Structure 1
Amino acid sequence: MISEKINALGFIFDQQLDVKGRISISDLFPKSKSRCGLYLLSFSDDTFYIGQAIDTVRRFSQHQKHHKYIIKLWFQPLNREVLNISEKRIIELAETSGLLLTNKTFVSNIIGETDLDLIISSNEQYEWLENNRDISNESYNLFGTIDLKYKIKYRQNFEKFQHLNNYTELKEILSIYLSKCIPANKKTEMSFWSLSCFPSTNSGTWPRYFCLNINSMEVFVLGYEKKTKIPYCFMIISNRFNKDKNKISKLNKKYKSIIIEKSDYRAAGADQIRLHCTDLQDLKTLILSENEIISSIKEMNLRLMRKGGTIYSPFHCFDLANDVTHVKLKD
């Protein structure tokens, strides 16, 4: 029941405030009463929003300007220094309990219409994720239309990458990932995902060949340890593959080079896992034939794309993206 779920979050269901039609709640929170804490909003369509505020009265009025259908409010007074950690914990708990949240941060799934729906219909997204149905990229060619000044920005990095002895293998791995795990990769390129080539992150210890970003986070990184030259990779994926309790142990037996551990990216929500791999052949097999892993990668990527465009588009390497998206994969 909703009441039990709300009580479990630390709010008291019976202390709900009726705020339907209000533009201010100043009378409900006089100056003598604490306004600092967490709040829970209930909307007329049975969705909810959890937030934090130093001044809940002011924050409510801001919400009301954009959301006219707020009907209930719950408040939980907290000290300012614990707001961030408490908000994250309660949002994750609420989503796990089944409350339909309209939050964009700390949640795994996004409710309602998104920018992605404007170029890929919600039905196409569903069919791509659940039934592996491809989404057409026909007639989309960003590389052919973008100004030269943007293409040459990271051309030196790309040429350096291209001259590596193992470039063909690295290129094939990235091509497989983009083909299988990014919906309509040409339609969504740069707006919803970006690809950096030889980024400077950890260049002194763990250099990166490339980093694929979606929304505000990295989802697929491949590089090498500078001292040993041993390759490494990590991917951020959902828990979808782990329905079988023995799945992780089975994967570890089959692939000696992989490590699966907890992940804590703000944009990914509560349902996220980091998968490490130090063998390129294992990595290639994982993203080519392990359907449960592929499905988990796809679910994470689609969730992030539904949250909005990537903030890393200024670092997109058009040459690398063009090279790998024109690879014809082997059957």
Structure 2
Amino acid sequence: MNSGDQFIWGLGFPEWREVTGRPSVADLFPVSARCGLYVLGFANGERYVGQAVDVVRRYTGHRKVHDDITHLSFREVPKAELDEQERRSIHALEAQGLRLRNVVHMSVVQGERDLDLVVSPQEQEHWLTGDVTGLHDAEQGIRDDALQARYHRRFERFMRQPRAQDALFVLGLYLQSVIPFPRRTELTFWAATCLPDTGAPEGSVLLCRVSLNMQEVFSLYGHTGDDENELWAEFHLARSPFQEAFGDDWQAQLQARGWNIDEHQYNPGGQDQFRLTAYGLEDLETLLLDSGYSGAMALINLRLMRLGATFYSKYHCLDLVDAALKTLEDRRGELPTMERSMNDAGIPGLLHIGNQVAPAGFEPSSWTVTASLEPEVVAHLTDPAQEYPVRFESARTGGGSITTFARFLTDDPQPQYHLYLKSLLDED
């Protein structure tokens, strides 16, 4: 069997039983001991974790769909604990890298999916890199007069909120930055609800929410009372990019940067997720323009879309989405811009201390570095004669590069820092 099967035994499952070609396993389990969790082994090495009140009946059902079942492992679990123990088992085995055929509770699903018919797997892979060069979304959004009329009055109430324009701007930036091909996938794979009736904590109003599959991924709030001019939001992100970058200390690293995070998870997103809360328009923009954070949002969003269609399409507010994307276009000039194209990730260059950046083919005096670094790091980078190699990477946006950051490529033990670059072009 597979080398990863020891992780299955570590969860309390017994050794495999050979079941190749068996139409039934009734002889293996007495009637009084058939409630619990099971793992199926397939001929190609994949596994499936499931629960059953009667494992014999469940196995027979699987055999009608899958003719390549070769092995079975089963352990008894009280009926009241089936849901929780199944979820934990799937998360644990996925985290260890086992290839599972499960869809529910999984962070990543394999094989052909409905999304592939709308956005090709090649486009999905390309989009996930953050380089949107050569990718094109649909020019027009969904037209559904009945659906639009259903939420039009609610949208009018939204527009009377104190920070409605800023809320539209943030929503538009979220959709364009971290939702794959938002116009192509709108309504079928994601939905945006306007002034949802539930979910707002005391002292806040829930302005809008974006949901994929059976999970919300972005909720934007406005404060009421004296703080009515401040926006705040909750994001769900994939945790694995931060674990890879920072190791086991990833949570402390994010908290040290001032972010509020917690382990909140929804079942559809699987174990590879966490929640981040940010306050104020500036911090919301920072998250969505930084490819580290937006990339982690994009990763979980694409995974959720690959699970299947959204369950919230009947609550989708077309007016809200149209207004959000239009507001983003109207206010794009407020965002850090790169007038000279640097869309291709991996452009070689040298960062010269003294606020000069020299990407290939550009004059160093055309660029400046703006960053907020810890004092000890600034001290580390104050030698004007020192040159630091960097890699230029573009933040993801549907319409091209909004901002670009440089990542240090040194052998120095200092961590990697993202430096935002702002164009200082000559008048010509």
Give the structure-2-normalised TM-score.
0.71
- 1:196 to partner: Cα distance: 0.3
Aligned to 2:192: 195
The alignment status of 1:223 with 2:224, answered yes or no, reads no
- By relative contact order (CA 8 Å, sep 6+), the higher-ranking structure is 1
Q: Which runs of 5+ in 2 are unaligned?
A: 338-428
The whole-number CA distance in structure 2 between the counterparts of 1:36 and 1:249 is: 41
3-state SS of 1:207 partner: strand
Equivalent residue number for residue 30 of structure 1: 30
Q: How far 1:166 moved relative to its partner?
A: 2.2
CA deviations 1:268-288 (Å, max 9, x no partner) are 111111000121211112112
Asked if the contact 2:192/2:316 (under 8 Å) is kept, the reply is yes
CA RMSD of aligned residues (A): 2.0
Q: State yes or no: 1:137 paired with 2:137.
A: yes
Deviations 1:147-177 (A, max 9, x none): x221111111111222334222211111111
Q: Is the CA contact (8 Å cut-off) linking 2:139 and 2:183 kept in structure 1? A: no
Aligned residues: 322
Partner in structure 1 of residue 238 of structure 2: 238
Give 1:112 deviation, angstroms: 1.1
Return the offset for 1:3: 3.4
- Tell me whether 1:281 sits opposite 2:278 in the alignment: no
Q: Given the two structures, how large is their TM-score scaled by the length of structure 1?
A: 0.91
The one-letter amino acid paired with 1:222 is L
How does 1:129-278 map onto structure 2 within 5 Å? Answer: 129-133=128-132, 135-143=135-143, 146=144, 148-202=145-199, 205=202, 206-227=204-225, 228-229=227-228, 230-239=230-239, 240-242=241-243, 243-245=245-247, 248-249=251-252, 251-254=254-257, 256=258, 258-278=259-279
For 1:164 and 1:80, the matched residues in 2 are separated by 48
Greater strand share, structure number? 2
- CA, structure 1 residues 161+129, in 2 after alignment: closer, same or farther (shift >3 Å)? same
Q: Deviations over 1:68-101 (max 9, x none)?
A: 2211111111221221221111111111111101
Larger relative helix fraction: 1
Partners of 1:295 and 1:52 in 2: CA distance: 34
**CA 68–158 in structure 1, closer or farther in 2 if over 3 Å, else same:** same
Q: 1:187-245, CA deviations, whole angstroms, 9 ceiling, x for partnerless residues?
A: 10010000000111145833210000011011000113445435321011111234224
Residue 203 to residue 292, structure 1, CA distance change in 2 (3 Å): closer
The CA distance in 1 between the partners of 2:253 and 2:5, in whole Å, is: 40
Amino acid at match of 1:8: G
Please identify, of 167-176 and 308-317, the stretch whose mean Cα deviation from structure 2 is larger: 167-176
d(CA) in 1 for partners of 2:321, 2:152 = 11
2:92 is aligned to 93
Opposite residue 5 of structure 1, the aligned amino acid is: F
Structure 1: stretches of 5+ with no match in the other structure: none
Aligned to 1:108: 107
Deviation at 1:249, TM superposition (A): 4.9
In 2, Cα distance between equivalents of 1:63 and 1:193: 31
Structure 2: how far apart are the matches of 1:75 and 1:311? 32
Is 2:9 the counterpart of 1:7? yes
Distance 1:293-1:203 versus aligned 2 partners, 3 A rule: closer
State the SS of the aligned residue for 1:111. coil
Give CA deviations for 1:126-167 in whole Å, capped at 9, x if unaligned: 111124336421354313xx2x22111111111122233422
My pick for the range that moved more, 278-287 or 311-320, is 278-287
Whichever of the two has the greater Rg, that structure is 2
